[in-house]
Chain A
Amino acid sequence: MFDLTGKTALVTGASGGIGAEIARALHAAGATLGLSGTRVEPLEALAAELGSRAHVLPCNLSNPEEVEGLVKRAAEAMGAVDILVNNAGITRDGLVMRMSDEDWQAVIDVNLTATFRLCRAAVRGMMKARWGRIVNISSVVGTTGNAGQVNYAASKAGMVGLSKSLAAEVASRGITVNCVAPGFIETAMTDKLNEAQRSAILASVPAGRMGTPEEIAAAVLYLASPEAAYVTGATLHVNGGMAMV
């Protein structure tokens, strides 16, 4: 249904579970992919799996110079960046009273500041092209909050405010900026939970199960598609009813 033939997409955090699935979905719809992440091996493996139309672009998002250069490298590799998916994210959980400035800053830097820098760099080419899609991967905890995650929740709520503001700035140029807010999804990040934590979480999810990376990727694919041209500044919650907002 959604055709991205001829479009180019840069996905950060493509070495992770959700990022890789987003890359697969966009690629299956015909897009050329720029796969970014810190770990080269999984990126190479994903590129090999995708076959053609895949470029590996390693980048450490906590390094401002590398972030500044990423969109340029992607545009050189693919000719343009029509679709930007800011998916990379880290956690450094801890209660406020025990959270260090470093743990606060590291999460804000990677999740929020790198998103800002990548948006700023990508929007230039999109304005010229009069077409662009930015999809920022937020989180349900950006809306609901979560004990032990002040840094992560603040960064994810920050992405929503950033996206709405940027959406207002560039809407007249055919560029949309939206968020997808996953709930509890089966990934390496949630594998760390123990059985008690897992059942406590599932009790709060009306759907009674965790979501899959494919279900996040489908939401991203829609927002990246030509069909979603009139959707901007929105947050699409994909959380099994865990938070109906």
Chain B
Amino acid sequence: MSDIADRVKKIVVEHLGVEADKVTESASFIDDLGADSLDTVELVMAFEEEFGIEIPDDAAETIQTFGDAVKFISEAA
């Protein structure tokens, strides 16, 4: 697993309080990992901080799964 994926997973695990092995490529933050809408906003804020990037609102809306997040950040960072 890439360095970016590791760092994203660490944030997700810490923030949502879920087991690391539940955070799979296709795991949906809301449907599978128990996030509410505020959690998703906070995750995006945490990603922005960790990777020093800006995630615009329309892009944030497309980040639904762990895989989406890793893909977006890999392209942006």
Q: How far is the CB of A168 from chain B (nearest CB, A)?
A: 10
A124 to chain B: which residues have CB within 8 Å? 45
Binary A-proximity of B23-54 (CB < 8 A = 1, otherwise 0) = 00000000000001010001001000000000
With an 8 A cutoff between CB atoms, is A39 at the interface? no
**In the docked arrangement, what's the CA distance between A173 and B42, Å?**
11
A172 touches B45 (CB 8 A): no
A173 touches B45 (CB 8 A): no
**In the docked arrangement, what's the CA distance between A107 and B4, Å?**
47
B-side interface mostly: helix
Q: How far is the CB of A130 from chain B (nearest CB, A)?
A: 10
B38 to chain A: which residues have CB within 8 Å? 127, 169-170, 172-173
Binary B-proximity of A205-230 (CB < 8 A = 1, otherwise 0) = 00000000000000000000000000
* CB neighbors of B among A122-152 (8 A): 124, 127-128
| CB-based nearest A residue for B46 | A128
**In the docked arrangement, what's the CA distance between A146 and B38, Å?**
37
A127 to chain B: which residues have CB within 8 Å? 38, 42, 45
| CB-based nearest B residue for A127 | B42
| CB-based nearest A residue for B45 | A124
Q: How far is the CB of A22 from chain B (nearest CB, A)?
A: 29
B42 to chain A: which residues have CB within 8 Å? 127-128
Q: How far is the CB of A51 from chain B (nearest CB, A)?
A: 35
| CB-based nearest A residue for B49 | A128
Q: How far is the CB of B30 from chain A (nearest CB, A)?
A: 15
* CB neighbors of B among A103-128 (8 A): 124, 127-128
Q: How far is the CB of B25 from chain A (nearest CB, A)?
A: 28
Binary B-proximity of A144-180 (CB < 8 A = 1, otherwise 0) = 0000000000000000000000000110110000000
A128 to chain B: which residues have CB within 8 Å? 42, 45
B36 to chain A: which residues have CB within 8 Å? 172
A169 to chain B: which residues have CB within 8 Å? 38
**In the docked arrangement, what's the CA distance between A169 and B40, Å?**
13
Q: How far is the CB of B72 from chain A (nearest CB, A)?
A: 20
**In the docked arrangement, what's the CA distance between A82 and B38, Å?**
19
Q: How far is the CB of A12 from chain B (nearest CB, A)?
A: 24
| CB-based nearest A residue for B42 | A127
Binary A-proximity of B2-22 (CB < 8 A = 1, otherwise 0) = 000000000000000000000
A residues neighboring B (CB under 8 Å): 124, 127-128, 169-170, 172-173
Closest 6 CB pairs of A and B: A127-B42, A169-B38, A172-B38, A124-B45, A173-B38, A170-B38
B residues neighboring A (CB under 8 Å): 36, 38, 42, 45
Pairs A–B under 8 Å by Cβ, sample size 11: A124-B45, A127-B38, A127-B42, A127-B45, A128-B42, A128-B45, A169-B38, A170-B38, A172-B36, A172-B38, A173-B38
